[in-house]
Each structure stands twice: as structure tokens, then as C-alpha cells.
Structure 1
Amino acid sequence: MAKDPLFTVLSLAKEAEDQAALQLRAARGELQKRQAQLQALNSYRLEYMQQLKDKAGGHISVTFYQQFHKFIKQIDDAIEQQVNSVAEGQEMQQHRQQNWLQKQQKRKAVEQLLDKKAKAAEQRMVRLEQKQTDEFAMQQFHRRHLR
């Protein structure tokens, strides 16, 4: 019996699913990296704000205060950019998750179709064997009664 072309389709579907899973893992890794960078920026900002608070009791020059606010503004801008980067990473992860789920669903559908075809072939074989057994029994019956 020739190999069913669905096995080729299944093989391709598995490869596509594996590739989608790799892309999803990469997107998750990238998102975690972006989230860690955002957390680092937030911690960095908090640290500098604490330094200002600690110096608030003492004498602070106007120049230092202006430079400090300029620096905090730069950190805030970087945080805003990183928040956008995290949002893009989340979008990418969701897109890759959907893609992976679609590939998985396609693979499962092909597997179910192959399983259904295999069960149908098995039922045909059982019916054929039963038919042959019945014919053999009928021939035996006729031989015994014709003698």
C-alpha cells in the first residue's frame, strides 16, 4: 500500500509548529529582557530620587538641583520608551502565541484525519477477514453436506 500523502502534510505541519514554538520562545525571552530593562530603569530612578531626598536636609545648590531634574527627566524619557518597548514585546508575544496555536491546531487536525483513516482501514480489514471467514465456513459446510 502506498504511503498516504497526509503523512507528508503531517510532517510539514509538525515542522511549522516547531518553528512557531521557537519563535514564541524567542518572543518570550525578548519580552522578559525588555521587562527587566524597565525594572532596572525604575530602580535607577528610585535610587536617584532617594539620593535627592537624603540631600534635601542639607544645602543643595541651584545648579545641582537643575542638573538633577534634567537627569531625572532623561531617565523618565528612557522609562517611557522602555514602557513602549515592553508593550511592543507583549504584542509580539501574543501574535507568536496565536501563530503557534494555529499551527498546533492544524497538526492535530491532520493527526485526527490520519487516525480516522487508519480506523476506517482497520474496520475494512476486519470486515474483509470476517467475510473470508464466513466464505470459508460456507465452503466447509457445502463440502460436508455434498458428500
Structure 2
Amino acid sequence: MAKDPLLTVLKLAQEAEEQAALKLKAAQLECQKRNAQLQALHSYRLDYMKQLTGKQGQQIRAEAYQQFHRFIQQVDTAIKQQNAVVQEAEQQKLHRQRYWMEKQQKRKAVELLLEKKAAAAEAKQLKQEQKMTDEFAAQQFFRRKLN
């Protein structure tokens, strides 16, 4: 019996789904990495603010205070930029998740077609076997009647 072309389609669908899953995993890892960087920036800012709070009651030169303020503004800018990077990574992850789900649906559809085709072939075979059994029984019945 010739190989069913749907098996080739299934193999291709499985490979596409696996590739999509790998890309999704990479996007998830990238998202985690970007979030960790954002958390590190927040933590760094908080630590720096605690240092200033620890210096309360002490005299701080105006120049040092201005430097501190500029530095905090730079960290805030970096946090805003990192927020944008995190949002972009989240969007990429969602896009890849949808793509993976599409590939998964296609694979499942091909599997369903193969199952239906196999069930139809089995039903056809059972019907043929039943027909042969009925014919055999009918022949035996007529032979007995003739004898």
C-alpha cells in the first residue's frame, strides 16, 4: 500500500510545531531576562535612595546633591527604556505563543483527519469481512438445503 500523503503533512506539521515551540521558549527566556534586568534597575535605584536617606541629618554639599539627582534621573530614564524593552519582549512572546498555538492546531487537525481516515478504512474492512461471512453462511445454507 502506498504511503499516505497525510503522513508527510503530519510530519511537516509536527516539525513546524516543534520549531514554533523552540521559538516560544526562547521568547519566554528573553522575557525573563529583560524582567530581571528591570528588577535589577529598580533594586539599584532603591539602594541608591537608601544611601541618600542614610545621609539625612548630615550636611550634603549642593554639588553632591545635584549629582545624586542627575544620577537618579539617569536611572529613571534607564528604567523607562527597560520598561519599553520588557513590553516589546512580552509582545514578542505573545506573538510566538499564538504562532505556536496555530501550528499545534494544524498538527491536531491533520492527526484528526488521519484518525477519521483510519476509522473509515477499518469500517470498510469490517463491512467487507461481514459481507464475506454472510456470503459464506448463505452458501453453506443453500448447500445444506440441496443435500
Residue ranges of structure 2 left out of the alignment (5+ in a row): none
Equivalents in 2 of 1:84, 1:67: separation in Å?
26
Matched, 1:98 2:98: yes
CA deviation map 1:38-84 (0-9, x unaligned): 00000000011111111121010011011111111111111011000
**TM-score, normalising length from structure 1?**
0.98
- Tell me the SS of whatever aligns to 2:3: coil
Map of 2:131 onto structure 1: 131
Equivalents in 2 of 1:126, 1:118: separation in Å?
12
Equivalents in 2 of 1:9, 1:29: separation in Å?
30
Map of 2:32 onto structure 1: 32
Map of 2:111 onto structure 1: 111
Map of 1:66 onto structure 2: 66
- Tell me the SS of whatever aligns to 2:59: coil
Which one-letter code corresponds to 2:71 in the other structure?
F
Map of 2:23 onto structure 1: 23
Aligned residues: 147
Shift of 1:3: 1.5
Equivalents in 2 of 1:127, 1:80: separation in Å?
70
- Tell me the SS of whatever aligns to 1:2: coil
Equivalents in 2 of 1:94, 1:70: separation in Å?
36
- Tell me the SS of whatever aligns to 2:63: helix
Which one-letter code corresponds to 1:24 in the other structure?
L
Map of 2:6 onto structure 1: 6
Residue ranges of structure 1 left out of the alignment (5+ in a row): none
Give me the CA root mean square deviation.
Answer: 0.7
Shift of 1:100: 0.5
Shift of 1:11: 0.4
- Tell me the SS of whatever aligns to 2:6: helix
Which one-letter code corresponds to 2:114 in the other structure?
L
Which one-letter code corresponds to 2:24 in the other structure?
L
Equivalents in 1 of 2:68, 2:57: separation in Å?
16
